Amino acid sequence: MTDMEQQRRTALTRRAGFETSQPGDRSRLPLRRRIWAYLLAIVLPMLTAAAMIPLRIDHGRVAVLVLVIPVVVVALLGAVGPAVVAAASAVLAYDLFLVEPYYNLAIADTDEIVAAVTLFAVALVVGVLSARLVRFHERDSARREELRHLIAFARVVTAAGDQALLTDAACEHITSVLNLRRCTWQPGAGDSTAPILMPDGNLMGRLSDLNPDRATLPANVEIPVRVDGVLVGRFALVPTTRHVASYEERLTATTIAELFGRATTG
């Protein structure tokens, strides 16, 4: 690439605005799982309250504690939205089934009003915190996967002398880290106008080729591989639609590409 072309492309780009720097920060539950989560958020507190009807005369206040349990169960699915809905559903179930007048949204006793408000506050806090803990666990799992792929490829580099094997391994690990549809190695120093992933994990390309959401890779993107400043080839990537690739994941992928370049030209 000539200096003029490099300057032109640089002028048409801006630093990628990473909406997420860590894996899993913006991950969404699959649609079917979200639907089930919201259904459970509504139904589970109701069923729990209905099951306590025989005990409501003598142990009505215990329900305030028991009704937190279905909220936690829903929150363990990993979504804050269903946890909030479950907290509201728990209060509604408590009011309908366990507070006089029964099967009516009215609450006559001031203490019961306080109990309902307390139930909502506790269930909301516990549910949201539980959902966030699940997300933290998923993020840690994703980070372990990143490290596993990086170490696995480093071992291939030290053990394998076959370039075809190195190429297949590099594409396999880059595909897994970035959740790609396809990855291919294109040797040579030919020109390309596709957006690129730079060694520091940033995206560079024409603004018209980049997504407004910089955390989502464009339809076609490349990782150029340079050794001592000389372009030896590029990995052509086809991302999965709407998949969010964090800065950490991008950096891991470009590190694998750099290791590949050193191993195949060293």
Q: Give the percent of the chain with pLDDT over 70.
A: 86
pLDDT at site 16: 41
Using the 8-state DSSP alphabet, how is residue 250 labeled?
Answer: H
Q: Decide if pLDDT at 235 tops 90.
A: yes
Q: How far is residue 52's CA from residue 62's CA, in Å, rounded to a whole number? A: 10
Name the pLDDT band for 29 (thresholds 50, 70, 90).
low
State how far the Cα of 236 lies from the Cα of 182, in Å rounded to an integer.
8
Q: CA 266, CA 262: separation in Å to the nearest integer?
A: 5
Question: What are the extents of the domains in the chain?
Answer: 1-159, 161-265
**Number of neighbours of residue 151 by Cβ within 10 angstroms:** 11
* Overall average pLDDT of the 172-198 stretch: 90
Least confident of 42-46, 165-169, 209-213, 220-224: 209-213
Question: What percent of the chain has a predicted confidence (pLDDT) above 90?
Answer: 34
Spell out where 178-220 has E strands. Answer: 180-187, 196-197, 203-204
Name the residue with tokens 């479950």. 86
Q: β-strand 180-187 against 203-204: which pairing, if any?
A: unpaired
What mean pLDDT, rounded, does the chain reach? 83
pLDDT of 215 above 70: yes
The CATH architecture assigned to 161-265 reads 2-Layer Sandwich (3.30)
Per the confidence metrics, is the pTM higher than 0.75?
A: no
